[in-house]
Amino acid sequence: MDIEANNILTVPVLPLRGLVVFPKTLIHFDVGRKKSITAINTAMKDNQTIFLAAQKDAAKNEPSIIDLYIVGVIAKVVQVLKQPENTTRIVIEGIKRARIISPVFDENCLMASVEPIEEIIEPASARDSAVIRTVKSEFEKYLELSPKMPPDIIFKVALCKSSGELADFIASNLVIDYQQKQSVLEILDPTERLSSLLDVLVNENYILKLENEITRKAKMHVDDGQREYFLREQKRVIEEELGEDDSPSDEADSYAQRIEELHLDEKSQETLFKECRKLMKMPYGSQESSVIRTYLDTVLDLPWNKSSKEKIVISKIRKELDKSHFGLEKIKERIVEQLAVKKLSDKQKGQIICLVGPPGVGKTSIAQSIANAIGRKSQRIALGGVKDEAEIRGHRRTYIGSMPGRIMAAIQNAGTNNPLLILDEIDKLSSDYKGDPTSALLEVLDSEQNNKYVDHFIDIPFDLSNVMFITTANDLSAIPAPLRDRMEVIELNSYTREEKYNIAKKHLIPKQLDLCGFSPKEIKFTQKGIYSIIDYYTREAGVRTLERTIASIFRKCAVQKLENGVESFKIDEKAVEKLLGNKKYLPETFLKTDEVGVVNGLAWTQVGGELLPIEVAVMDGNGKLVLTGSLGDVMQESAKIAITCIRSHADVLGINPDFYKTKDIHIHAPEGAVPKDGPSAGVTMATAIYSALSNKPVRHDVAMTGEITLRGKVLPIGGLKEKSMAAYRHKISTVIIPEQNKTDLSEIDNAVKENVDFIPVDNIKDIISIATLDSEKISNAKWNRINIPFENQENTPTIRQ
């Protein structure tokens, strides 16, 4: 602190937001602004003196000297305490009034030259004494009307003798706006200051009286409500004593009449009548009566006896299903069979069908089409992410905000007791501490039990046997076994290339024509254009990406029509690439020559069948086996089985029986970054190993699939439809399949059957005879003799995974 002439001080300035400090007042508050903390630290280094001034605008975060009131207080920093979150708590005591003369530049904090204002002390006149007494009296009234204040305030007021001191003390303790306090602080004459404070006190007391009067009247209204409640309770007790409580009220009578009209079983009727009697005895506005009304309204709104009339005409149903969906023959046939039986006999109850397949193949949409075809109402229940059992079975009425479960809510929304309910994503259910919703579905999806299904909220049996349930799932293994056992599972395979073409041509393109405002004459897709979209811009099991890609083409055509005036578009292969850019998925490479150790296998993926070539290299070594290409555990085991199979038949196959001692074998499946697993590549690996060891090439136009055993038997596999489509797409002329998969040939697409020869085999020797070139005829007598040399156990091959 610098002392200049005329008693002017140069001190740091602390701006206050919404706060005014008076002389001889001890106060504590938190400081968080960086410049304010610097000002406090500067003051602590120099006599602990600081100037406090209130901001004119409390919202301003970085005020300057001109943003402060001129009159403030010179104060002394008594204590500084560090607080969390970069704040500092200070205890400060006001000393005397002062005014800002001029700002002093300091880049770290606010500094100013201030002039102390000396207090005017004059002898008290009779008028001053009267004003002091009046102010003290008004302040006592203020303390009575305002929230409780510390008792020592009244004692300190009594000790104040001078007008200025009394005005400052009372003003600092009033709960008023900081602008009013600042106006009191700026009055230098003590008598005038006290008179101004008296006006503020009188006004505050008047406002407090009004507030208390409003509060009292509001409380009286509440008391009147309580009084009415007690009177109603007394009336109810009197009616009970006089035996007049049996006469039902109009509301309870209305509910009872609706219950009788439902013609429920005796036990259910009695349960509902009991709730009516409870309602009649309760005050209208009580909370429990509201719960009973909600319960009765919910139960009575259920479609107990209301059914939708089915229109079962088999030919029309087939036509409707074929119109809305291409393919999906298994589902359509199963639904037609059930409806045919339903037409012949009413004893057939609702069956539970589970549609399992990859995303986007039309599980949910075919279920909705079934409801439209037979004239039933349908409701979709999304089960993905449901963890609480109460979501299925409902909440008990004892809980606040309780409601029925999703099953009863769907039936109520459908408005009939025989709707078609679609339980979507049933494999996405999970459980937590609130219960297992999967277990709650066991009763719902059991046609032998659900005729008396009890929802926790409804609390009386409801017949679900007439409801037709269709569930959908992506992963069958994720559904618990007891729940899976209650459903008839129909698997939907991924769409083939031909099916995607027909879906795009018959459904997706007409749909987008309508949505985008084009006529069929304006945009025409060629066959090659549609195939180009399927082959080079989508890679999926369903058709969702295909639909989005077609919609993208329509949007780009719409822009060209509006900007350039193009009237018609021909979407062929070149137009597709021009509109969608470079191809996202390039065609897979295909062998064009017969090679040694390379065999075409067939694999199933979620996006369809794929060609999976297997490569085998044989090198001089000591019997090591190397497996690469991101092979899974099952596929690694197939490789080991294939090695053992070839080794055990080495003499018959005409290869060196000691190859496991002198040769290292490396088996590789290209596209090493893509994980591969499954047993169906066993015969492919065995054939490739034989080719590499015998140095005989394998036909490049032959593909194969099947699981191999140690004895060389070929076991059946799955996904033959998709695998055959992959062979057809890569122009494979011959596909070798397991003998036991002959029955699956009926599901193969006709276009594939016309262009691909399928050869069923049951032994690896037949595969070798068909696939390899220059292979000798192997007799069954020789083949059945298995010889595995085990003279030296130390020379068995070392397998590296």
- 427 to each of 44, 350, 486, 718, 767, how far by Cα in Å? 69, 21, 14, 22, 40
Please report where in the chains the tokens 């969702």 appear, as a residue: 544
Per DSSP, the residues of 400-468 read TT----HHHHHHHHHTSSS-EEEEETGGG---BTTB-HHHHHHHHT-TTTGGGEE-TTT-SEE--TTPE
Q: Is the pLDDT of residue 646 over 50?
A: yes
Q: pLDDT at position 268, please?
A: 82
Q: pLDDT at position 311, please?
A: 73
Residues 6+ apart with CB under 8 A from 327: 495, 499, 502, 503
CA geometry: angle 400, 406, 408, nearest 5 deg: 95
Per DSSP, the residues of 735-775 read EEEEGGGGGGGGGS-HHHHHH-EEEEESBHHHHHHHHBTTP
Domain ranges of the chain: 2-116, 126-205, 250-301, 314-491, 497-580, 595-800
CA geometry: angle 469, 475, 480, nearest 5 deg: 70
Q: What are phi and psi of 722, to 5 degrees?
A: -70, -40
> pLDDT tens, 35-59?
888 888 888 888 888 999 998 888 8
In this chain, the answer to whether the domains covering 126-205 and 595-800 adopt an identical fold is no
Q: pLDDT at position 400, please?
A: 76
What are the b/e assignments for 265-283, b being 16+ CB within 10 Å? eeebbebbeebbeebbebe
Q: Where are the beta strands (DSSP E) in 621-660?
A: 624-628
Per DSSP, the residues of 185-212 read HT--SHHHHHHHHHHHHHHHHHHHHHHH
> pLDDT tens, 306-357?
887 777 778 887 887 777 777 777 777 877 887 788 777 766 666 688 888 7
Q: Span 2-116: which CATH code?
A: 2.30.130.40
Higher pLDDT: 358 or 786? It is: 358
Residues 6+ apart with CB under 8 A from 677: 631, 632, 633, 634, 635
Instruction: Indicate the range of 49-53, 140-144, 155-159 predicted with least confidence.
Output: 155-159
> pLDDT tens, 462-503?
888 888 888 888 877 788 888 888 888 887 777 777 778 888
For range 289-294, the mean pLDDT? 79
Structure-token pair, residue 259: 């219950």
Cα(542)–Cα(546) distance, rounded to whole angstroms?
A: 8
Let me know: does 200 contact 184? Beta carbons within 8 Å. yes
Q: pLDDT at position 761, please?
A: 92
Please report where in the chains the tokens 């303390």 appear, as a residue: 143
What are the b/e assignments for 603-617, b being 16+ CB within 10 Å? bbbebbbbbbbbbbe
What are the b/e assignments for 153-181, b being 16+ CB within 10 Å? eeeebeebebbbbbbbbbbbbbeeebebb
For range 262-287, the mean pLDDT? 76
Active-site annotation, residues = 680, 723
How far does CA 466 lie from the centroid of its chain? 33
Higher pLDDT: 451 or 647? It is: 647
Average pLDDT of the chain?
80
- Place domain 314-491 in its CATH homologous superfamily: P-loop containing nucleotide triphosphate hydrolases (3.40.50.300)
Residue 786: pLDDT band with limits 50, 70, 90: very low
Structure-token pair, residue 720: 């033959």
Dihedral of CA atoms 754, 757, 760, 764 in degrees, nearest 10, equals -160
For range 711-740, the mean pLDDT? 86
Q: pLDDT at position 781, please?
A: 46
Taking the CA atoms of 560, 564, 568 and 572 in sequence, report the sign of the dihedral they define.
Answer: negative
Cα(78)–Cα(93) distance, rounded to whole angstroms?
A: 7
Q: What are phi and psi of 101, to 5 degrees?
A: -95, -50
| Sequence letter at residue 124 | A
**Residue 185 CB neighbours (<10 A):** 26
3-state class of 246 per DSSP? coil
Q: Is the pLDDT of residue 234 over 80?
A: no
Higher pLDDT: 433 or 793? It is: 433
> pLDDT tens, 656-699?
888 888 888 999 988 766 787 778 888 999 999 999 888 889 98
Angle between helices 314-324 and 329-344 (to 10 degrees): 160
Let me know: does 146 contact 208? Beta carbons within 8 Å. yes
Q: pLDDT at position 738, please?
A: 92
Please report where in the chains the tokens 């059930």 appear, as a residue: 338
Q: Is the pLDDT of residue 83 over 50?
A: yes
For range 436-454, the mean pLDDT? 78
The yes/no answer on whether domain 497-580 falls in CATH 3.40.50.300 is no
Please report where in the chains the tokens 């994503």 appear, as a residue: 425
What is the second-level CATH architecture of the domain 126-205? Up-down Bundle (1.20)
- Say if residue 704 is exposed, middle or buried (CB neighbours under 10 Å; 0-12, 13-18, 19+): buried
Q: Is the pLDDT of residue 789 over 50?
A: no
Choose from 313-327, 614-628, 673-687, 718-732 the range with maximum mean pLDDT: 614-628
| Sequence letter at residue 107 | E
Please report where in the chains the tokens 């029955």 appear, as a residue: 743
Cα(524)–Cα(569) distance, rounded to whole angstroms?
A: 6
Q: Minimal CA–CA distance to 378: which of 350, 346, 410?
A: 410
Q: Is the pLDDT of residue 515 over 70?
A: yes
Residues 6+ apart with CB under 8 A from 380: 364, 368, 422, 424
> pLDDT tens, 198-222?
888 888 888 888 888 887 777 776 6
% of the chain residues with pLDDT over 70: 89
Q: pLDDT at position 438, please?
A: 76
Residue 616: pLDDT band with limits 50, 70, 90: very high
Residues 6+ apart with CB under 8 A from 551: 512, 515, 516
> pLDDT tens, 96-139?
889 989 888 888 888 889 989 887 777 767 787 788 788 888 88
**Residue 674 CB neighbours (<10 A):** 13
**Residue 122 CB neighbours (<10 A):** 12
| Global confidence as pTM | 0.56
Q: pLDDT at position 350, please?
A: 60
Cα(591)–Cα(3) distance, rounded to whole angstroms?
A: 99
- 121 to each of 43, 98, 261, 519, how far by Cα in Å? 30, 17, 94, 98
Q: Is the pLDDT of residue 196 over 70?
A: yes
3-state class of 283 per DSSP? coil
Q: Where are the beta strands (DSSP E) in 4-70?
A: 9-16, 26-31, 49-54
Domain 595-800: which CATH number of 3.40.309.10, 3.30.230.10, 2.40.280.10, 2.60.120.920:
3.30.230.10
Q: pLDDT at position 273, please?
A: 81
**Residue 542 CB neighbours (<10 A):** 22
Let me know: does 332 contact 321? Beta carbons within 8 Å. yes
